[in-house]
Amino acid sequence: MPRLRLTGRGLWITALIVPPLAVMVTFVAYPILSALAYAFYDWQGLQRGEFVGFKHFHTVLFTEPFASWTRNAFINNVIVFFSLMVIQNGFGFVLAYALWRELPGAAFHRVAVFLPVVLSTVIIGFLWKLFFHPIFGPVNQIFRGMGLDFLAQPWLGQSSTALGSLIFVNAWAWVGFPTLVFLAGMQRIPTELLDAARMETNSEWVLIRKIVWPLVAPSATVVFILLFIGSFNWFELPYIMVGLDGSPYGSTDVLGLYFYRTAFGNQSAGVQDFGRGSALAVLTFMFIAVVAAFWTIRLRKREIQI
Amino acid sequence: MSTASAKAMAYDNKGILGTLGRDGLLQIILIANTILMLFPIVIMIFSGFKSNPEIFNNPFAIPDFTNLSNYISVWTQTNFIRYLFNSVFVTGVSILSILVLGTMAAYAIARYEFFGASFILLFFMAGLTLPLKLAIIPLFILFRDLGILNTHWALVAVYVAMGLPSTVFIMTGFIRTLPRELEDAARMDGASELRIMWSVLLPLCRPALIISAIHNLVPIWNDFFFPLVFIQRDALKTLPQGLTAFMGEYTTNWGVMFAGLTLAAAPITVIYIILSRQFINGMTSGALK
């Protein structure tokens, strides 16, 4: 370590570290701590009123109709998370395994599966909104063309299928991410280890379960946690495809939409309430932080080192 | 499923796995998936060259690619170019600031031993998992007080704050792997600390800088949430945000809507196809250690 020009060195390190730290403190630490404080005050528009304690938390959790809105949105988030866990990550693992075999054309398939990941959610949302159009949309045209008329549904327009359609679009757009993270994990498994395992068993299934899966576990941890955080922050896709109200009849309402409506109002009800909004943000944030922390610790435990 | 089919294969070699082999089945899955991924995008591009009746009657037919009327409408009758320019400006300034600030912090943490270095690294790392969306209300009030609400600087500030943690993470890891002998030699020659950083170590950091830049490029370029809250003036809107205004205007003209989506998707798609390896490495780098 350099021991020369000690004062100059201290000054130099300070000059390097202070500007980035200042950005983090001003635009990350301060806003997040403020959000916590804001939830305890009454708000008149942008003006902070008096201290009200836990009133807003009580309102969003226990006072009707807010309580059922919160519950409905939360349940939808949970559905979204578990569905994507199975569809997006499950299919991602299968695709990663298929790509890992380096079959002819693997490089092309790899580029194709990741293409929607780089596109904006706004583009993807509008594209599929047009595709799902009940009369003119290509989705229903394909079903009718195949003689499957009973499948030609107003997918986004009825409570029973709207959330499922959104989940499908999300999985379509994002499956490339878990695929390529899993693939990178598989590619780092030493060949000797695989060869040794192949001597012991000729079942590929046993190989996947006993060797591949445990060794990609570190990648899986990150993919799971990112999906968890993403699912409970879900906003752009439902906003574009079904609107701010989570229509029809709140069947696609999620915490992100509900929080935005509460904090900034919507066209139908122009009221905005920063107090209740902050309470929702704090609750969501706490939930994400606590679950993500405990789950990370649990997932890390089952990871093994070679 | 596989164990069952493997057993079945031992008895009956005419099963689908038997005739094709496992790799054949995997190849079919890959091809089917690639079609599912690319088909919607191809239909989007095709439909941009069609009129409404053509889209409704022959949605999957190959269009007349010389019919550019939809694209001309998008280009001339909307603020598309303005939105594109805004996105380029905001993304460019944000990424440049992230790289400069991120490298400064990473260099200090990785190269010098000083009091609190590990705590500072931990502070940056905490930012990796915090969803800044949930702090939108305080950010809104902060930017109002700073007088930068409804300006591009509000977006740049949020994006830099969002991008710094991952960049510090990637850069610190990389700078730590660089050999110390290099700077010791330069120091022996009497080079200043700034000179050592600028001329000796930074040129070696190029691969990590590119990874960091791409890691931030896609989320910033595509972001919709923060402009939605911070930007009201049409002339300042970014591409994803401008697209929502545009799609609201042309709700009945499908050809123009598809042309608009195609044009909005074009810049990042073209760069992605050229630099696909760097994109994939950059975007998955946060998830790998």
Separation of alpha carbons B18 and B23, rounded Å:
11
Over residues B96-116, the pLDDT tens digits come to 999 999 999 999 998 888 888
Over residues A236-273, the pLDDT tens digits come to 999 999 988 888 888 889 999 999 988 887 655 567 88
Kindly list the distances between the CA atom of residue B72 and the CA atoms of A11, A96, B142, in Å, as whole numbers in the listed order: 57, 41, 41
> B68 is written with which tokens?
């550019």
Over residues B145-161, the pLDDT tens digits come to 999 999 999 999 999 99
Highest mean pLDDT among A40-54, A131-145, B140-154: B140-154
Q: What pLDDT score does B2 carry?
A: 47
| CATH number for the domain running over A65-302 | 1.10.3720.10
Q: How far is A70 from chain B (nearest CA, A)?
A: 16
Q: Do A119 and B269 touch (CB under 8 A)?
A: yes
Enclosing H/E stretch for B28: helix B16-47
> A132 is written with which tokens?
């799902």
Separation of alpha carbons A132 and A56, rounded Å:
39
* Residue B213's pLDDT band (cuts 50, 70, 90): very high
Q: Do A28 and B130 touch (CB under 8 A)?
A: yes
* Residue A42's pLDDT band (cuts 50, 70, 90): confident
The stretch A163-184 carries a mean pLDDT of 94
Residue B4: is its pLDDT beyond 60? no
Separation of alpha carbons A100 and B22, rounded Å:
13
Separation of alpha carbons B19 and B16, rounded Å:
5
Nearest CA in chain B to A97: B26
Q: What pLDDT score does B17 carry?
A: 57
Q: What pLDDT score does A270 carry?
A: 60
The stretch A196-205 carries a mean pLDDT of 82
SS3 B74: helix
Q: Where are the domains of chain A?
A: 6-56, 65-302
Average pLDDT across chain A, whole number: 87
Q: Where are the domains of chain B?
A: 2-70, 73-287
- Select the residue of A31, A126, A235 nearest B247 (Cβ to Cβ): A126
The stretch A219-235 carries a mean pLDDT of 90
Distance of CA A263 to the CA centre of its chain: 21
Over residues B23-39, the pLDDT tens digits come to 888 999 999 999 999 99
| Lowest mean pLDDT, pick from A22-31, A60-69, B149-158 | A60-69
Q: What pLDDT score does A293 carry?
A: 87
Nearest CA in chain B to A278: B137
A126 Cβ contact list (under 8 Å, min separation 6): A240, B243, B247, B257, B261
The stretch B91-95 carries a mean pLDDT of 96
Separation of alpha carbons B216 and A78, rounded Å:
28
Test mutation, B51, B172, B280, chain A, max A CBs within 10 A: B280
SS3 A50: strand
Residues linked to residue A44 through DSSP beta bridges, in sequence order: A47
Tell the burial category of B19 from Cβ atoms under 10 Å away from its Cβ (0-12, 13-18, 19+).
exposed
Q: What pLDDT score does A209 carry?
A: 87
Q: Do A38 and B139 touch (CB under 8 A)?
A: no
Q: Do A38 and B137 touch (CB under 8 A)?
A: yes
Average pLDDT across chain B, whole number: 86
Global ipTM: 0.88
Residues linked to residue A48 through DSSP beta bridges, in sequence order: A43
Q: How far is B264 from chain A (nearest CA, A)?
A: 7
Percent of chain B surpassing pLDDT 70: 92
Residue B11: is its pLDDT beyond 60? no
Q: What pLDDT score does B12 carry?
A: 45
Nearest CA in chain A to B54: A136
Separation of alpha carbons A153 and A137, rounded Å:
11
* Whether B240 contacts B247, CB under 8 Å: no
* Residue A102's pLDDT band (cuts 50, 70, 90): confident
| Secondary structure (H, E, C), A162-225 | HHHHHHHHHHHHHCHHHHHHHHHHHHCCCHHHHHHHHHHCCCHHHHHHHHHHHHHHHHHHHHHH
Of B31, B68, B28, give the one whose Cα is nearest residue B50: B68
CATH class given for the domain over B73-287: mainly alpha
Tell the burial category of A296 from Cβ atoms under 10 Å away from its Cβ (0-12, 13-18, 19+).
middle
Query: DSSP letter string over A207-274?
Result: HIIIIIHHHHHHHHHHHHHHHHHHHHT--HHHHHHHTTTTSSTTTT--HHHHHHHHHH--SSS----H
- Select the residue of A8, A109, A130 nearest B34 (Cβ to Cβ): A109
Enclosing H/E stretch for B178: none
Cβ count near A68 (within 10 Å): 11
Q: How far is B236 from chain A (nearest CA, A)?
A: 17
Tokens 């949309």, residue located: A137
Residue B65: is its pLDDT beyond 90? no
Q: What pLDDT score does B15 carry?
A: 54
Cβ count near A114 (within 10 Å): 22
Tokens 């047009």, residue located: A130
> What does the DSSP 8-state code read for residue B112?
-
* Residue A214's pLDDT band (cuts 50, 70, 90): confident
Which residues of chain A neighbour B273 with C-beta distances below 8 Å? 111
Percent of chain A surpassing pLDDT 70: 95
Separation of alpha carbons A45 and A41, rounded Å:
12
* Residue A18's pLDDT band (cuts 50, 70, 90): very high
Residue B14: is its pLDDT beyond 70? no
Query: DSSP letter string over A66-90?
Result: HHHHHHHHHHHHHHHHHHHIIIIIH
